[in-house]
Amino acid sequence: MSKNRYNGILLLNKPKGITSHDAVDRIRNIFGQRTVGHTGTLDPLADGLLVICLGKATKISRYLTDCDKSYDATIELGLTSTTLDAEGLDPDQIRSNVPEMTNEQLKTLLTEFVGQQLQQVPVYSAVKVDGERLYKLARKGQETDRPSRDITIHSIELTKFEQTEIKISVSCSKGTYIRTLAADIGDKIGCGAYLSGLTRTMVGRFDLSVAHTIEQLEASTDESILENKLLSVNESLDFAALLVDERVSTLVRNGVALTGSVIQDVDGIFLAGENILIKDQNGSVLAVGTADVDSKTVCPTLQDKIFNYERVIA
């Protein structure tokens, strides 16, 4: 494979049936370079938006991971699964009776899951406990205490309810397991449930509607066409920024401390401790970090250090 010819963010519509790792390998082959990574795993049985970073953009993957996500989920009532999705379903299982409910009653029940809460990590997950992944312990038949996470369900919209099938649209914080939510909804109804389908529709402000399929990318053999399918680092990070000239750009690339005297302009409003960018005169991102001061205090006479480096991009 060649050196990093491509640097940017790719919005991929991952199909069902392959892992996120498999999807990254396919993108490596299509773009012909090794430095490729994703910003948040999708289960093999799930499809939808997978945000992939190429080249220098891999340096900002953590900032794209720490954001809210949205999903379209299908929940099957009256059946349960060891994995909470279709993979762990017993084909000989007898369906439990599903209580009669109106749409309005179900909508009211779903509101009880909205808000901040503790969610227990599923038995079959990649989370490590005592150095080993939970799904490996589960396959060995070993029981262990599973950790819980602070998550937030921002909204749940009921889009379909017919007999034993529920379709919902969910907006939630990072780290939320929709499989667990589906099972919890089934328990609340009183009949059990599992997640029978899942599509991730948004990651932060990135939308599935503009994502590319693997087939579309494989058909784009021209380098310029592939280049045009990537978002720049500048387009991908929605942080306020400090603007510097070419002379200071060299200092930034070397991680030199910055004071107010070297800042040409401030783009946006920020508080001390918040993530901000350093950009050059062309608007290209040079570095990502945190502000040591508020934006309103940045001025040429400020001699205090104003920026704490986290990643140099240039």
Q: Which residues pair with 88 in a beta bridge?
A: none
The pLDDT assigned to 129 comes to 56
User: Which CATH class for the 239-312 domain?
Assistant: mainly beta
Mean pLDDT by 10 residues, the chain (314 residues): 83 95 95 92 93 94 91 98 91 94 96 94 63 58 71 97 96 94 96 97 96 94 88 90 91 90 92 95 92 92 90 88
The pLDDT assigned to 143 comes to 65
d(CA 170, CA 11): 20
Burial class (CB in 10 A: 0-12, 13-18, 19+), 235: exposed
The pLDDT assigned to 311 comes to 93
Q: Which fold is adopted by the domain 69-90+101-203?
A: Pseudouridine synthase (3.30.2350)
Q: How many helices (H) and strands (E) does the chain have?
A: 9, 16
The pLDDT assigned to 1 comes to 58
The pLDDT assigned to 98 comes to 95
All CATH 3.30.2350.10 domain ranges of the chain, comma separated, are 8-66+206-233, 69-90+101-203
- What residues have CB less than 8 Å from 84, skipping those under 6 apart? 122, 124, 177, 179, 180, 182, 183, 194, 195
Hey, what long-range contacts does 305-312 have (CB within 8 A, 24 or more apart)? 305/257, 305/258, 305/259, 306/242, 306/258, 306/259, 306/260, 306/263, 307/242, 307/257, 307/258, 307/276, 307/278, 309/255, 310/275, 311/59, 311/60, 311/287, 312/59, 312/252, 312/253, 312/255, 312/286, 312/287
This prediction has a pTM of 0.89
So which residues are the catalytic ones? 43
Q: Residue 168 belongs to what H/E stretch? A: strand 165-172
CATH number for the domain running over 8-66+206-233? 3.30.2350.10
The pLDDT assigned to 140 comes to 56
The pLDDT assigned to 3 comes to 72
All CATH 2.30.130.10 domain ranges of the chain, comma separated, are 239-312
- Tokens 């939808």: give the residue: 48
The pLDDT assigned to 2 comes to 59
